Amino acid sequence: MEVRSGGRGGGKKRRRKKRLVVYQSCHAARRDSLKGHAARRDSLKGRATSNGTTPLGVAPHDSLKSLVVLLFFLAAVRLATPRSRAEKLLSKLPTPPLRLPVIGHLHLVGPLPHRSLRELARRHGPDVLLLRLGAVPTLVISSPRAAKAILRTHDNVFLSRPFSAVADVLFYGTTDVGFAPYGEYWRQARKVVTTHLLTVRKVRSGRAAREQEVRLALARVRDAAAARAAVDLSEIFSFFANDVVCQAVTGRLPREQGRNELFHDLLVTNNTELLGGFNLDEYFPSLARLNVVPAKAAKHRKRWDDLLDGLIDKHASKTVSGEHEEEDFIDVLLSVQQEYSLTRDNIKAILMDMFEAGTDTTSISLDFAMAQLIRNPKAMAKLQAEVRRCASRKGKHEIFTEDDLSTMSYLKAVMKEAMRLHPPASFMIPHSSMAECEVEGYTIPSGVRVLLNVWALGRDPACWESAEEFMPERFLEEAMDAASDLQGNDFRLLPFGSGRRMCPAVKFATATFEIILANLIYHFNWELPPGTTGVDMTETFGINVHRKERLRLVPCVAHGV
């Protein structure tokens, strides 16, 4: 593994020695982390017994009682155990005072953790803050400077993911990309995704499919406009994003048999019932032994299995029969299966990742962008003026294609501003440290869970003028536009993350975002439904943060489609 040195100066010898120490501890931590994942997985296997009791030998209705006893027992053991080096290091980190037995700081988290954790960081941090969430020490990062230390200076240390019992079941032993711990498997899986599935060439070759999905979405809006009725844009965005990913993953197969809707339903369960929010199983790893949530995840995964197996079989036979059309992700994964030694389960895990990571994130960004445009008529007017000016070269009834978008600087500024204020992943997928490491003057031990509050970075008043205002103009200034390229170089604006764990689909996601928004703004004028006075921006927290209410707006045809 290549390990970059954090500081400048010092002799070659010292640097080499430092590299060796970091390398050895990283390597050991990685080995331990992988062993830990495997051991935890093994301990979770075969948990439910045939008489319907848990491995602790209790019937499900006794679970709560056993849980309380278990947690207090664990707390007592903890108090009686001498403090480890890691504990000593953790005790030096800034932390809020109100730590309760067993639950630690969980009671301070509240229903909107990105907001409550920013407040806690302001009061007790500010850059780094240690929370004891149940049994798990969690480092919360809330400033661009600390984010840079984690994601750039010490990228090689914070490259892993903590174990999640639910993700382990859902993603075939976390052999996807997003939840896979750092190691050879993740490196290979990520390479498959970045060099075969989400390349610039592949994103370009998906243009026709995206434009076809735009036409379908516009047709639905046009029907509502003809009836002068409000349209549920949240739903349109959700199906649009889902269908674009579906097309990329499976080609033309899904819509023909209504499978795109099945994918959509499966994903809703993933996000609302299994992976969403602050999952207690992750903060009380001993809870996973009770097997309630992992069992639910296993049942749900069976439905994914049936769907994905069917599609893979169809693709495998299509390859044999020699039919020729644009290769979708399943075709590509089958074609590189041997080269990368991927099992069928690995392929299914990677495919599921594409849906999990790519659908909600895109539709949520679109939903917030449109909501902000309605709340800010001047910004809406500017965007309309830009798309209509660019459209004057085209026939009135044609849709915008991706070629037409490259000169639309205000559209791109709207996208960045929406993602600054409302990053769909308000926290990045948790990172995990693999070695001891200095951050902002504190030594962070190995094995610490790290939450990066992307939402707080985008609203840091020390970095942004009028941080809470929706002002796309801020990205029109040349210097700002170049610096804030969404590629993880501006640590104030990290909706896609940064470093080696960064989202590999920035091009795919931004192309999807821009093409639908430009067309909706060009072809229609938008109004609030009669009797309503504004858009409710109340949020709810899940695996992503989204608006609580559906976005219902009345379209009025500006240019026919």
Point out the annotated binding site for heme: 503
| Residues of the binding site | 503
Q: Is 501 in the site for ligand HEM (CB under 6 A)?
A: yes
The answer to whether 342 and 333 have CB atoms below 8 angstroms apart is yes
Site string for ligand HEM, 202-241 (x = CB under 6 A): ----------------------------------------
Give the residue, chosen from 104, 125, 497, 555, that forms a contact with ligand HEM under the rule CB under 6 A. 497
Q: Is 504 in the site for ligand HEM (CB under 6 A)?
A: yes
Give the residue, chosen from 163, 304, 368, 508, that forms a contact with ligand HEM under the rule CB under 6 A. 508
Site string for ligand HEM, 240-269 (x = CB under 6 A): -----x------------------------
* Residues contacting residue 1 through CB under 8 Å, at least 6 positions apart: 23, 26, 27, 156
Applying the rule CB under 6 A, the residues between 349 and 388 that interact with ligand HEM are 353-354, 357-358, 361-362, 365
Window of 3-11, 210-218, 281-289, 424-432 that interacts with ligand HEM by CB under 6 A: 424-432
Total residues at the site for ligand HEM (CB under 6 A)?
Answer: 26
The DSSP element (H or E) to which 443 belongs, if any, is strand 442-444
The least distance separating ligand HEM from the CB of residue 70, rounded to whole angstroms, comes to 31
The least distance separating ligand HEM from the CB of residue 310, rounded to whole angstroms, comes to 21
Give the residue, chosen from 347, 425, 434, 457, that forms a contact with ligand HEM under the rule CB under 6 A. 425
Residue 280: burial class (beta carbons within 10 Å; 0-12, 13-18, 19+): middle
- CA–CA gap between residue 429 and residue 500 (Å, rounded): 13
The answer to whether 544 and 425 have CB atoms below 8 angstroms apart is yes
DSSP strand pairing (449-452 vs 136-141): parallel
Window of 373-381, 390-398, 474-482, 497-505 that interacts with ligand HEM by CB under 6 A: 497-505
Residue 489: count of CB within 10 angstroms of its CB: 14
The answer to whether 314 and 254 have CB atoms below 8 angstroms apart is no
Give all strands (DSSP E) within 205-339, no chain letters. Answer: 231-232
The least distance separating ligand HEM from the CB of residue 243, rounded to whole angstroms, comes to 13
The least distance separating ligand HEM from the CB of residue 175, rounded to whole angstroms, comes to 12
Q: Is 502 in the site for ligand HEM (CB under 6 A)?
A: yes
Q: Is 505 in the site for ligand HEM (CB under 6 A)?
A: yes
Opening angle at CA 360, ends 413 and 419, nearest 5:
20
Cis peptide bond N-terminal to 101, omega within 30 = no
φ, ψ (nearest 5 deg) of residue 435: -160, 165
- CA–CA gap between residue 87 and residue 360 (Å, rounded): 38
Amino acid present at 1: M
The least distance separating ligand HEM from the CB of residue 132, rounded to whole angstroms, comes to 22
Interface residues with ligand HEM (CB under 6 A)?
177-178, 190, 193, 245, 353-354, 357-358, 361-362, 365, 424-425, 428-429, 495-497, 501-505, 508-509
